[in-house]
Amino acid sequence: MKTSVYHIRCKKDHDNIDTGYIGITNNPVRRQAEHWSALTLQSHKNYKLQKAFDEQSDDLEFIIYKEFSDRKSAELLEETLRPYKNIGWNIAVGGSREFDDRFQSKKFNINNQYIDQEIFENNFLVVNEKFTTLELITRKAFKPFVNHWRKSNQAVILSNLFQTFRFTSSENTQPMELIQQAWAMKENIFQGDWGAIPHDLTAVGFAISMQLQSKNIDLGEKLKCTLMLGNIIEQIIMNGKLFQFNQIDILLVELIFGSYFTFNIEKNETLKSLGL
């Protein structure tokens, strides 16, 4: 029996998985009916979803985000999309594992012809660390300066990649501008609101991955982005334990891989349809 990861969202948020409500079910029709029935009767246990329904019921939609042949894979994706409480309209964390266990033996939900799953897992180390009390105090006092320093470092890394792969920067694709866009897209992650911050490598990788869906650059430049992203993915796979990524990096890594492989698959399908 198939298990689906579903997304209840506002129609305007069709491209933002961080908003709305994520859940899993083996019967989408029944599950949607259960949600809508409770919401209509003003008896839904999720107060955020109830409030959204009360304010904009006509604008809500229930869509299937992804289907799996087994429940475990669906739970892993739900865990990835909702690793902490109070993301979007979700109140609880996603998945079935306890919080302290979920990042110690993280299994990636990546199945494709490009990656050897066993090699990937054996070469990747996830450190379950959150800010210490001193770090929290320091960040609160100096957050603007710390964030500016981090953005500058990430922009330098991106600039070096541009030079290596001869990526031509326009006004909209300056290194700092792309880093700023990445921070704005995942503000909670980059601002450290979830108790940790991402490694510069995954931050830069995410900034590049966003350009694969951008309308501001042409196909030639997007192909250069895939080369840069491929270089970062190779570093992640081959040297994952050296970086000691944290739980926040896990979220970005899966988004990076998803963007990279989706773009390449779509590109190959397009070339095939053209007979090239």
The amino acid at residue 4 is S
Distances (CA, A) of 118 to 108, 115, 233: 10, 9, 16
Q: What is the pLDDT of residue 106?
A: 47
Domains and CATH numbers, the chain: 3-98 (3.40.1440.10), 117-273 (no CATH)
Q: What is the pLDDT of residue 191?
A: 85
**Angle CA 6–108–257, to nearest 5:** 85
**Rounded Cα gap, residues 30 and 62, in angstroms:** 12
Instruction: Please report how many Cα atoms fall inside a 13 Å half-sphere around the Cα of residue 202, on the Cβ side.
Output: 25
- Contact, 62 vs 6, CB < 8 A? yes
Query: Span 15-33, mean pLDDT?
Result: 90
Residue 171 CA, chain-centre distance (Å), reads 26
pLDDT single digits (tens) 73-122:
888 888 888 877 888 999 888 766 554 554 444 444 445 444 555 655 66
Specify the pTM.
0.60
Q: Rounded mean pLDDT of 2-27? A: 91
- Strands, sheet with 21-25, edge to edge from the N-terminal-most edge strand: 21-25, 3-10, 60-68
**Confidence at residue 151, expressed as pLDDT on a 0 to 100 scale:** 94
Tracing tokens 């500058």 back to the chain, one arrives at 152
What's the CA gap between 122 and 159, in Å, rounded? 31
Q: Whats the size of the chain, residue-wise?
A: 276
Looking at residue 276, its pLDDT comes to: 60
The confidence score (pLDDT) of residue 205 equals 94
State the DSSP H helix or E strand holding residue 229, giving kind and residue range, or none if neither: helix 219-243
Which residue type does 237 have? I
Question: Over the stretch 162-217, which tens digit does the pLDDT of each residue have?
Answer: 888 888 777 667 899 999 999 998 888 888 877 888 899 999 999 999 988 887 77
pLDDT in tens, 110-155: 454 445 556 556 666 666 667 677 777 777 778 888 889 999 999 9
> pLDDT tens for residues 208-263?
999 888 877 788 888 888 999 988 888 887 777 777 787 788 778 878 887 888 88
Residues 6+ positions from 14 with CB-CB distance below 8 Å: none
Q: At what angle do helices 219-243 and 133-164 cross, to 10 degrees?
A: 140
Residue 222: predicted pLDDT:
87
DSSP string across 10-53: EGGGTT-TTSSEEEEES-HHHHHHHHHHHHHTT--S-HHHHHHH
Residues 232, 79: Cα–Cα separation, whole Å = 24
* Token reading at 129: 């660390």
